[in-house]
Structure 1
Amino acid sequence: MPSEMGPLQPSAAAQKTITVIGKRIREMRKDKGMTLSQLAEASGLSSSMLSLVERGLASPSIGSLIVVAGALGRSMSDLLETESHESDIVVRSGDVTPVQAPGEVIRRVMKEDRANGVSIAVNEYAPHTSSNESALSHEGYEYGLLLDGSLTVEVGGEAHVIEAGDLISYSSRRPHRIYNHTDRMARTVWVNTDRR
C-alpha cells in the first residue's frame, strides 16, 4: 500500500481546505450509499487513511484525490473549493484558490469543464517534491506541458525526464507519478480528460 499522506502542520487556510475536502468526500460517499470499506476497495487506498481524510486529520496527495474522486464517479475539482464555472470565458488566476498537497505541490484548477470532460490546472512542484509517494492510476488521459524547470514523470514503470517546453501525454490508467528531481521550482499546465 502506498504512503498516502505527508507530515501535517498545515496553515489555518490549508486546514480549512483539508476539512472541506474531507467533508465533501464523506458526503459524496454517503450519497452513493458506499461504506468506507467499499470506497477503499474502489480507490485502492486504505480505510484508515480515508477515515482520517474524511475527518480532516490527513492531507491526501493530488494523486490520491484524483483516485478517490474517480472511485466516487466525480472529478477532483468536485472535492475542492473552486469558483470557476463552465460558462466562464475568462478565468483569472487571482480568482482561483490554490490547493497545497503534501510535499509542497501546489495545484490551481483553472477550468473544470464537465460538459467536455476536461480539467485544466497549473501545478507547481517545489524542489524534490512529487504528486504522490508511489505511482497511482485512474480513469482518463493526461497531457502535461512543462513551463519552467525539469520533472521526471514515471509512466508504467518507465521514467521520462521532461524539460521546459516539453509535452508528455499518457493514459491515466497506466500507473504514474510526477516528481521534481531538481533544486529548482517546476511549473506545468496539466490537462486531464475523462476519456476512457
Structure 2
Amino acid sequence: MATEWMSAEEAEVAGERPRVGVEESLATVIAERVREMRLRHGWTVGRLADECGLSKSMLSKIENAQSSPSLGTLARLSEALSVPVTAFFRGLSEEQDVIHVKAGGGLVIHHRNSAHGQLYQSLGTMRAPHDYLEPMLVTLTERADAFPLYQHAGAELIFMISGKMEYCCGAGRYVLEAGDALQFVGEVAHGPGDLISLPIQFLAVKSLGARG
C-alpha cells in the first residue's frame, strides 16, 4: 500500500484525514520518537518548535500522531534534536505487524465499475511476506442493474453482517443473510446478484498467497 505524504502546511489546511495500516503505524512511531527525543533534551513543545522552525500547533499534531510529517519536516527535526532521520523510524517494524482499523476508518477503494450506493473499504494489508490477505468491507445501499463478476487467484471468504442478498459463484446462486459465510475459489467468476434486503454489508477476505 502506498503511503501518501503531506507537508506540514498541507496538513494544517487539510486537517486530520483517515489513515489505515502502514501510514497510521508510521505516524504513531514518529510521534513516539519525537516526543521521546524532545523529553531527552528536557525541552517543551514550544522550545522544540522554535528550534526547528515549526509552529507549536503543528508539532503538537505530529507528537499526537494526528499529522504525518514530510521528509523535509523530519530533516528539520533531526537537525534540531541532533539525531539522524532514521532515528524517527525505530520500532516501525514492530508497529507494522499489527493493523488496527477503527470503525469507519477503512480506506475507500474506487472500483472502475462501481456505482452510486456501493462503498468498498479496504481494512489494510500486512507488509511482505505476510501480505496474502485482502480484507474488504462492502456496503450496498442501492440496487443496481447488474454487478460485475470478479476473478482472482487464491480463495475468498464472504461473511454477511447485515441485509440479505443473492451471491453468484460460478453456476451457483446462494442466499446470504446476517451471520452467513461463503467460501470459494477466487478463479471462479463471483459477485453479488439480487439485492433482496437493503442496506447490505459484508466482509470479503481474499487469500492471495504471499506476494513479497
Please give the TM-score of this superposition, normalised by the length of structure 1. Answer: 0.51
Matched residue SS, 1:115: coil
Which of 170, 189, 196 is the equivalent residue of 2:203? 189
Is 2:134 aligned against 1:119?
Answer: yes
RMSD across aligned positions (CA): 2.8
Deviation at 1:183, TM superposition (A): 4.5
Match of 1:108 in 2: 121
Which entry has the higher C-alpha Rg, 1 or 2? 2
Deviation at 1:181, TM superposition (A): 1.8
Match of 1:151 in 2: 165
Deviation at 1:103, TM superposition (A): 4.1
Deviation at 1:153, TM superposition (A): 1.0
Q: Structure 1: which 5+ runs fail to align?
A: 1-80
Equivalent residues in 2 for 1:30-49, closer than 5 Å: none
Which of 158, 168, 172 is the equivalent residue of 2:186? 172
Match of 2:107 in 1: 97
Match of 1:83 in 2: 20
Which amino acid is 2:133 matched to?
Answer: V
Task: After superposition, give the CA deviation of every residue in 1:138-168 in whole Å (9 maximum; x if it has no partner).
Answer: 2121001001001111111211111110000
Q: Do 1:151 and 1:179's aligned partners in 2 also have CA atoms closer than 8 Å?
A: yes
Please give the TM-score of this superposition, normalised by the length of structure 2. Answer: 0.47
Equivalent residues in 2 for 1:55-66, closer than 5 Å: none
Distance 1:148 1:183, change over 3 A: closer
Q: Tell me, in whole angstroms, the C-alpha distance in 1 between the residues paired with 2:148 and 2:99.
A: 36
Distance 1:84 1:156, change over 3 A: same
Matched residue SS, 2:124: strand
Distance 1:180 1:109, change over 3 A: farther
Q: Structure 2: which 5+ runs fail to align?
A: 1-17, 23-95
Q: Tell me, in whole angstroms, the C-alpha distance in 1 between the residues paired with 2:134 and 2:19.
A: 12
Which amino acid is 1:168 matched to?
Answer: L
Identity among equivalent positions (%) equals 13
For these two proteins, the number of residue pairs brought into alignment is 116
Task: After superposition, give the CA deviation of every residue in 1:58-82 in whole Å (9 maximum; x if it has no partner).
Answer: xxxxxxxxxxxxxxxxxxxxxxx97
